[in-house]
Amino acid sequence: MVPKTPSKKADAASSASKFSDTISATYSAYSKQVSGDRQLQLIDTFCAFLVAVGVIQFLFVCAAKDSFPLNAFLAGFSACVGQFVLLVSLRMQVVSSFTGITPQRAFGEFVLASLVLHFLCLHFVN
């Protein structure tokens, strides 16, 4: 007798179920971490804004099909990516599970690094 192997449809339904379970668990853990913490909500909103601005800049350069404002695009896009990275590091340091550095020091380092990043991006444009 030949053993039954699961069909491709059953396997796909199983992996889709696992994927939806993973997404729901991730969202519930995220909402549990962010609920009531206005700082994390603000940081996450700013991160989403930076992603949107970076995508818009990239789509604009693709639609323009010209390399004339290449320095401006590279400076703007690198500012978006750099600011996103700095925000993610700030978010990692602000959560309560991170010990070893105070939130005030983390914010001060974030501000200083942001100033250096924007200074370099402005010099790249010129």
What single string gives the DSSP state of each residue in 11-45? HHHHHHHHHHHHHHHHHHHHHHHHTT-HHHHHHHH
Q: Is 100 left (phi over 0), alpha (psi -120 to 50) or beta?
A: left
Question: Would 2 be classed as within a structural domain?
Answer: no
The two tokens of residue 126 are 């010129």
pLDDT for position 12? 67
Question: Would 15 be classed as within a structural domain?
Answer: no
Question: Would 103 be classed as within a structural domain?
Answer: yes
Per-position pLDDT tens, the chain of length 126: 666 665 666 676 777 788 889 999 999 988 988 888 899 999 999 999 999 999 999 999 888 887 777 888 899 999 999 999 999 999 999 887 777 888 899 999 999 999 999 999 999 887
pTM: 0.78
Can you give the C-alpha Rg of the chain in angstroms?
Answer: 22
Question: Would 108 be classed as within a structural domain?
Answer: yes
Domain range for 73 is 38-125
Question: Would 27 be classed as within a structural domain?
Answer: no
Looking at the structure of the chain, the number of domains it has is 1
pLDDT for position 37? 85
Question: Would 100 be classed as within a structural domain?
Answer: yes
Question: Would 30 be classed as within a structural domain?
Answer: no
Question: Would 25 be classed as within a structural domain?
Answer: no
Task: Report in angstroms the alpha-carbon separations of 26 from 23, 34, 48.
Answer: 5, 12, 17
Report whether 106 contacts 94 (CB < 8 A): yes
